[in-house]
Structure 1
Amino acid sequence: MDNATAVTFKMTPYESMDKYKHGMFCVFFLLYLTAIVLNSLFISVIHLNPELHQPMNVFACMLSINEIYGSTALLPAVMVILMSNTREISVKWCIAQVYFLHTYAGGEFCVLALMGYDRYVAICYPLHYHSKMSKSKICKLIALAGLYTLIVFGCYYSLTLQLSFCGKVIAKLYCVNMELVKTSCSTAPYISIVGLVILPFFIVPQLVMILFSYAKIAKVCSKLTKEAQIKAVKTCIPHLLSLLNYSIGSLFEIIHTRFEMNRVSVEARSFLSLYFIIIPPILNPVLYGIGTQIVRVYMLKLFVKYKILPKKLAV
């Protein structure tokens, strides 16, 4: 890769935030701190209580670990550039940011697909759930999800590393692969063709697994009593909300990157582009932690143990 044509990229959206950059810095810092605290708390509660080492909680912990990774890879850099005078990012760090951001996004979708599969097994094969979702199988599924993300995006990313860059402006708060392609002065057609071939592998298998799981769940639920249907649906609600939230954020990101949005204010575009890296990391530990009764009880016990809450509140 030849970076001689461009040493840094100018991040233009930050210019519109100059008048209130200190306020935005505080907002980003509080959101980042909230995401880190909530996810760390959730992971700690699950880790410290063997009774909570159920497959769905393990997958939820992996989701939290991935969200700490994604938030830490992006938000501190956003805050640094926001407070800088140049509003620039080096080409090397921009390329690294692309790697962090896309592996976060791919890992998130893979874990959500595994969580959908877990709900499928729990509802369709309740008597065989623990044998089908054994510890060894869970470890293999998590390892497969991680390797799949790294291998598929690694193939896609290897094309990005071959690019040279003539453009010096990126119209986003952070670097994504499409923005690097837009600034590239490389015209080799095979890069675009191979990229288009690889891209579906980053999305389609997980989507198929989720659709298959919920199709089977719907079929089984149609044969259950009304009470059993309500119980089954309740166990799926946190996952469906997480999936919907992540999908909305990803859709915002795709629209912002690939389409002109001149009619939308820069501030609104900036928030929408950060949605998938801020809202899911805050919402998911709430859904699987505070939103789950048994986990909530153990959280209260942890607070009482360290004298954060009075004992009567944990009853």
Structure 2
Amino acid sequence: MNSTQLSYFTLSAYFDLGVFRYLCFLVVACLYVVIVVSNVFLLVVICVNRSLHEPMYLFLCSLVVNELYGSSGLFPFLLLQILSDVHTVPAAFCFLQNFVLYGYGGVEYLTLAVMAYDRYVAICCPLRYGARMTSGHVGVLVAAAWLGPVLLCIVMTALSKSLQLCGNVIQKVYCDNYSVTKLACSDTAASNVYGLVVVSLSVFVPLVLILYTYVKILQVCFSGSRQTRQKAVSTCSPHLASLINFSCGGFFEILQSRFDMSDAPDVLRVLLSLYWLTCQPLVNPLLYGLNVSKIRLVCRSLLFAGGSITR
């Protein structure tokens, strides 16, 4: 069966929820509403308040937009599938979902790397911060964090679509590129090699850059004043927590996709595959809203004091 003739894929990881179907739908819908409301609220607070128009918060805006992008690629689809008795998805939509979700992952890591670089310059080279982090430089970094993964995912999706497939059953609750590639009965060498390139450029390179910046930041903290250490902790802790959370989600996704987990309970396998797409958008607004003092003060003024957020 050639992928150009394939009209649909079947998602086999769904199981009969019985009377709990509507409860599950309600829980997932509430999660999606919380994600959208919290991320949009954080985005509006940053965009409207002039005191937050700094590189650190502009990069955070990029991260928030990516959370909304990735969530929208999963949750509406998931809600429809929960209520459906037949868990099939058109082939075109399946490849589109591949593109959206892998693009989300790549943009997330690259944006976190850009944010780490911003903190490195602010803490290690404070006198040169204004010269390095100009509006033009910030725009280039944000554009690179988005365009790189998008271009990589376009090629990856095209390679997957060109494969000759001998089946159409995907053992997950959403479409992913690795599951589609496993269905191929033609040569997958090009797709596999390119997949390694995508992972290296989207995951390992950003992680190396982040590790380097944190090593430099730690060196400055150990040799600097108490005020420098406090500044580093207050601005880097939300970023580090976000990175660890997303990396754990990526590890669970790899664990669920690459290894045989047929003996694990169905619920566990589904939760592992959804972790990286659910917890990051839920956790990030809390991490930055509660731990970054400027955002916390603006949110408090907006919610409780009725103050203007445009100051």
| Fold shared by both chains (TM-score > 0.5) | yes
SS in 2 for 1:10: strand
Give the letter aligned to residue 296 of structure 1: R
CA distance 1:254–1:41, shift in 2 (3 Å):
same
CA distance 1:52–1:194, shift in 2 (3 Å):
closer
Moved more, 141-150 or 239-248: 141-150
Q: Is the 8 A contact 1:46 1:52 kept in 2?
A: yes
1:94: how far off? 0.7
CA distance 1:185–1:217, shift in 2 (3 Å):
same
Q: Is the 8 A contact 2:3 2:162 kept in 1?
A: no
Counterpart position of 2:229:
229
Q: Is the 8 A contact 1:112 1:243 kept in 2?
A: yes
1:301: how far off? 3.0
Write out aligned runs for 1:221-300 (5 A): 221-300=221-300
Give the letter aligned to residue 239 of structure 2: H
Give the letter aligned to residue 174 of structure 1: Y
CA distance 1:158–1:20, shift in 2 (3 Å):
same
Give the letter aligned to residue 222 of structure 1: F
CA distance 1:127–1:156, shift in 2 (3 Å):
same
1:260: how far off? 1.1
Kindly report the root-mean-square deviation, in angstroms, between the aligned alpha carbons of the 2 structures: 2.1
CA distance in structure 2 between the aligned counterparts of 1:6 and 1:235, rounded to whole angstroms: 49
1:188: how far off? 4.9
Counterpart position of 1:116:
116
Moved more, 252-261 or 224-233: 224-233
Give the letter aligned to residue 121 of structure 2: V
The answer to whether 1:216 aligns with 2:205 is: no
1:14: how far off? 1.4
CA distance in structure 2 between the aligned counterparts of 1:141 and 1:168, rounded to whole angstroms: 39
> After superposition, what is the alpha-carbon deviation per residue over 1:102-124, rounded to whole angstroms, capped at 9, x for unaligned?
00110111100001101101110
1:236: how far off? 0.7
> After superposition, what is the alpha-carbon deviation per residue over 1:184-218, rounded to whole angstroms, capped at 9, x for unaligned?
23225333334434442222221221111111112
Corresponding residue pairs, total:
308
1:225: how far off? 3.0
Moved more, 143-152 or 218-227: 218-227
1:153: how far off? 2.5
**Identity of aligned pairs, percent?**
35
Counterpart position of 2:146:
146
Give the letter aligned to residue 167 of structure 1: G
Give the letter aligned to residue 103 of structure 1: G
CA distance in structure 2 between the aligned counterparts of 1:228 and 1:190, rounded to whole angstroms: 49
CA distance in structure 1 between the aligned counterparts of 2:292 and 2:190, rounded to whole angstroms: 49
Q: Is the 8 A contact 2:109 2:202 kept in 1?
A: no
CA distance in structure 1 between the aligned counterparts of 2:53 and 2:105, rounded to whole angstroms: 25
Counterpart position of 1:14:
14
> After superposition, what is the alpha-carbon deviation per residue over 1:272-302, rounded to whole angstroms, capped at 9, x for unaligned?
2111111111111111123323212222333
Give the letter aligned to residue 109 of structure 2: F
The answer to whether 1:88 aligns with 2:88 is: yes
* Runs of 4+ residues deviating >6 angstroms: none
Q: Is the 8 A contact 1:5 1:165 kept in 2?
A: no
CA distance in structure 1 between the aligned counterparts of 2:215 and 2:114, rounded to whole angstroms: 15
Q: Which runs of 5+ in 1 are unaligned?
A: 304-308
Give the letter aligned to residue 169 of structure 2: V
The answer to whether 1:191 aligns with 2:191 is: yes
Give the letter aligned to residue 33 of structure 1: V
1:245: how far off? 0.6
1:23: how far off? 1.1
The answer to whether 1:49 aligns with 2:54 is: no
CA distance 1:159–1:127, shift in 2 (3 Å):
same
CA distance in structure 1 between the aligned counterparts of 2:254 and 2:265, rounded to whole angstroms: 17
Give the letter aligned to residue 28 of structure 1: V
SS in 2 for 1:101: helix
CA distance 1:183–1:213, shift in 2 (3 Å):
same
Counterpart position of 1:170:
170
CA distance 1:104–1:9, shift in 2 (3 Å):
same
Counterpart position of 1:306:
none
> After superposition, what is the alpha-carbon deviation per residue over 1:39-85, rounded to whole angstroms, capped at 9, x for unaligned?
00001011111111111111111111000010011111011011111
Give the letter aligned to residue 241 of structure 2: L
1:220: how far off? 1.5
CA distance 1:98–1:188, shift in 2 (3 Å):
closer
